[in-house]
Structure 1
Amino acid sequence: MSSLVRIALDVMGGDHGPEVVIPGAEMALTRHPDIRYLLFGDEARIRELLAPRPKLAAASEIFHTDVVVQMDDKPSQALRRGRRVSSMWRAIDAVRLHQADCAVSAGNTGALMAMAKVNLKTMAGIGRPAIAGLWPTLRGESVVLDIGASIGATAQHLIDMAVMGAAMARIVFDIDRPTVGLLNVGVEEIKGVEEVKEAGAALRAANHPGLDYRGFVEGDDLGKGTVDVVVIEGFAGNIALKTAEGTARQVADYLRAAIQRSFMARIGYLFARSAFRALREKLDPRKSNGGVFLGLNGVVIKSHGGTDAEGFASAVDIGYDMVRYDLLSRIEAGISGRPRVSGSASAGSAQDAEHSDDLQVQS
């Protein structure tokens, strides 16, 4: 790999487009001066935003596109209208053509996954890709996947996600053998649907050298950080993600209302400001912004569509790390030694992101 990390940006993606992507790219460049950007989008708007940022301009190459994938486009619509011509597609295509090492977009998640799978294809031996995210916990952070790439999962898909999530965790947490758990309705091995029980038995028997399987974990273990990697199928994973985000906002609103309730409460806040500041920092979603698409022949990062510049910079940071520490090779090494469950690799009712118009998660 080159000493530079080349990152393709879908400049037009997300709720705010270039007004967030460009300043976010500048922040990430400050932290990683060895980044070089390929910027795909409206050239006039990009040049206007680059004008007061000469260092970013010097590290960037602009590729004009006229078509933008909208946040409410169905994946099938995005593929028909934006294939080969949209800023999203061309950013992904730069990875396929080895012009870029990574693509980052804040655009429509369903469209991004569909385009990424059609363009990059899945890695050999991987039935389908997954989206992995960083989850704040009492211990720090955990990798959680799948948080919305597809619906349903066979036992083999769950095993593959365990191996891929562990590969990501080795990079993010700098540990040799991350602990892994399967999210279930209880920790007892007799509980849960057959696919989860089958995957758990196979992982326990395999004793994979790249991960330390700890068995089933429950919903409250997500916040505790009981394991480094939590594996769950995408439908439940996305519900868990949205529930956690909503709960964090709810708690923040409760605290805000309690502080404003009386004069003495405001006085108490003045004495506890540092504690509240630390809590706000811990719960800041921008710090862990950036879902990693695992299982593709290329690195693609999904930023939250409504993020600000700092949050987008965090997504670029994650992409940088995945490239610099060779995520794809780590996944390939893990997959080659994973347990195989007979007859389940393509079984089940799971829907593919390429063909499903119901996958509009995390947009």
Structure 2
Amino acid sequence: MPNIDRIEAFADELTAIRRDLHAHPEIGFEEVRTSGIVADKLTQWGIEVHRGLGGTGVVGVLKGKGSNGKRIGLRADMDALPMEENTNLRWRSTIPGRFHGCGHDGHTTMLLGTARYLAETRNFDGTVHFIFQPAEEGLGGARAMIKDGLFEKFPCDEVYGLHNAPDLNHGEVAILPGPAMAGADFFDITISGYGAHGAMPERSKDAVVIAMTLGQALQTIVSRNVDPLKAAVVSITQIHAGSAYNVIPGEAKLCGTVRAFSDEVRALIRERMRAICAGMATAFQVEITADIRDTFSVLVNQEEQSRVVEAVARTVVDPAKVITRSQPKMGSEDFADMMQAIPGAYFWVGHDGSVPVHNPGYVLDDKILPVGASMFARIIETRLPVGAHA
């Protein structure tokens, strides 16, 4: 089962674009160079371009043949991560502390490949909105675009997104109808105690000891409050306290994330976190503040659009490598917010290499660029067929 020949023919150009984006990564809401390249390419291919949605977002509008009024959105994220890259690639990041460690450079390039192909062929009847989104990595880029009127200005009847998947093999495509990725909260908990000399702990209200006790207590929420049949995670990912060996700090901070597939479970976890913090504050006679923020919605793939992805995938890759029984992922994705507004589907494209995303040694396999571009293109040609509305 082939990629689209016309896309395969310019695969080397897609690779060059992707590697250039990789070498010049930009984090959320700072994608000035990236969005400029996207806008320039779309303009070069005769696609109507709109910039500035959600800060650095770009939307391209392309009308096909015929008079069909149906509109489909295709979305790619553009931002990198605030982390160092640890590879020896010739095109590795040239910016310290910035790395396309999740492959968004690849997603952007795939959608550009789709845009070029559809602009050259126009073998569809309807309108395509190419949505290049900033700030997917926890900064609310999808919500920013929606707040700026994304779907009022560029109405869509359905939307599609994708992600590269190093946990799958090259040539595999996975789609999971229903809840497919967890919703997420981020939290910052601040313990305001009373500092003292390290040799005189009785004069302190030790924020470090309280933080350790609180951290252990928070781990009981999932094990003792959440239904064991409903997946949930509470992870403390940062601890900040102290500046010297002989000083008991008066303040400590715990930061982390909550993941679950149910908004009810997420609400329960938030309530228990706040209650435990309040109880600890009373027990230790300190002040504890808990800032818990709804960051990602649960990503739910609609049945109809999931079946479209499945059928299209069987024309792009080996039908035996189309996976429809994949496990839900505890990771989160803010495309979920777009799919709360518009029905759609989000799928994964496997590639060579086993280093996971968000790892400093992660490497995207450029061979999947025409695969992703072909998937998007065939979705459009399948859902907006020429001649169906003559």
TM over 0.5: no
Q: Which has the higher strand share?
A: 2
Q: Which has the higher helix share?
A: 1
Look at both structures and tell me which one has the larger radius of gyration over its CA atoms: 2
TM-score by structure 1 length? 0.29
